[in-house]
């Protein structure tokens, strides 16, 4: 083990799940290592690109098919009822964890906040990552208690809505229980405005959700857009490792080479 890992007591985070979201069978998208699959709700589907056999520049009768965000497919959500979810919690929200995802919004001017990731408790979510159009920001929202109307920690990073174009954004959340800090990363980077103190993370017993969030006893903030490369770890990734999330099929070798 390299000295840099032993130094400061750093322990390599454990990959809990990697969902490439390239395919689905009977409304279920598998985890890369045969772990817990994600169930697709009504309004959610897997978009797949062409097989490259059709080249519009050479064949005028050929219709151009935009490529997926990453790999051969991605999750497409309709903004009304579409979501994907596991059968239970993926991360222990009382301990250190890391989540990463690639997302592209379908609208250039979204009409309301939209959540890409959340993990529910009984009355609210332990966290949610959402786009807030009124401030043109991606936000990380962390309620202090599992109670409706509980005070919230909110941090953010500025980004324009995608309007269905481009390669989207890489978002990540890192909670470090040792330092009582939670951070939001946008395209691999964070800053002081995107970090908050979180001394007492509470236990979330609900399932990890893609594309919606719980508010009171109802679901809402449905995402209209595309989602890809969901990766979840137990443990806090270092700042220099976060940019590797969502960059390839083997995140462990990309993130922490040589371990």
Of 38-52, 105-119, 227-241, 243-257, where does mean pLDDT reach its minimum?
243-257
pLDDT of residue 4: 45
pTM of the shown model: 0.88
Residue 6: pLDDT band with limits 50, 70, 90? very low
Higher per-residue confidence, 200 vs 163 = 163
pLDDT of residue 123: 81
pLDDT surpassing 90 at residue 259: no
Distance separating alpha carbons of residues 99 and 175, to the nearest angstrom: 9
The rounded percent of the chain whose pLDDT value lies above 90 is 63
The rounded percent of the chain whose pLDDT value lies above 70 is 88
Q: 28-37, 117-126, 180-189, 250-259 — which one is most confidently predicted on average?
A: 180-189
**Could you tell me which of 70, 40, 78 has the C-alpha nearest to residue 223?**
78
Residue 65: pLDDT band with limits 50, 70, 90? confident
Average pLDDT (187-216) is 90
Question: DSSP string spanning 199-229?
Answer: S------SPEEES-EEETTEEE---EEEEEE
Tell me the pLDDT tens digit for each residue of 222-253: 999 999 999 999 999 999 999 988 765 444 44
Q: Looking at the chain, how many residues does it have? A: 259
pLDDT of residue 98: 96
Mean pLDDT, the chain, integer = 87
pLDDT of residue 9: 63
pLDDT surpassing 50 at residue 5: no
pLDDT surpassing 50 at residue 7: no
Cβ atoms < 10 Å from Cβ of 237: 27
3 state SS of 137? strand
Question: Which helix (H) or strand (E) segment is 3 a member of?
Answer: helix 3-6
pLDDT of residue 252: 43
Higher per-residue confidence, 81 vs 57 = 81
pLDDT of residue 253: 45
Domain spanning 14-240, CATH class: mainly beta
pLDDT surpassing 50 at residue 140: yes
pLDDT of residue 201: 80
Domain residue spans in the chain?
Answer: 14-240
Higher per-residue confidence, 63 vs 209 = 209
Is residue 216 exposed (0-12), middle (13-18) or buried (19+ Cβ within 10 Å)? exposed
Contact 100, 246 (CB under 8 A): yes
pLDDT of residue 218: 85
């Amino acid at each position: 083990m390299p000295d840099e890992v032993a130094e400061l007591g750093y322990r390599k985070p454990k990959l809990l799940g990697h969902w490439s979201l390239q395919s689905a069978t009977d409304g279920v998208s598998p985890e890369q290592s045969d772990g817990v699959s994600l169930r697709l709700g009504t309004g959610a589907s897997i978009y797949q690109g062409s097989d490259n056999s059709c080249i519009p520049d050479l064949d005028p009768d050929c219709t151009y098919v935009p490529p997926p965000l990453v790999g051969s497919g991605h999750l497409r959500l309709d903004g009304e009822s579409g979501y994907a979810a596991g059968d239970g919690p993926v991360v222990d929200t009382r301990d250190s964890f890391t989540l990463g995802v690639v997302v592209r919004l379908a609208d250039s001017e979204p009409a309301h906040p939209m959540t890409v990731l959340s993990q529910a408790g009984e009355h609210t979510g332990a966290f949610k990552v959402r786009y807030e159009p009124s401030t043109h920001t991606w936000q990380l929202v962390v309620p202090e208690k599992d109670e409706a109307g509980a005070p919230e920690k909110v941090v953010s990073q500025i980004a324009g809505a995608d309007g269905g174009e481009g390669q989207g954004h890489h978002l990540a959340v890192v909670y470090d229980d040792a330092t009582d800090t939670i951070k939001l990363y946008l395209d691999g980077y964070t800053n002081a405005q995107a970090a908050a103190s979180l001394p007492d993370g509470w236990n979330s017993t609900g399932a990890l959700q893609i594309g919606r969030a719980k508010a009171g006893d109802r679901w809402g903030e449905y995402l209209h857009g595309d989602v890809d490369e969901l990766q979840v770890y137990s443990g806090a990734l270092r700042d220099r490792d976060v940019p590797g999330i969502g960059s390839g099929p083997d995140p462990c070798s990309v993130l922490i080479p040589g371990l």
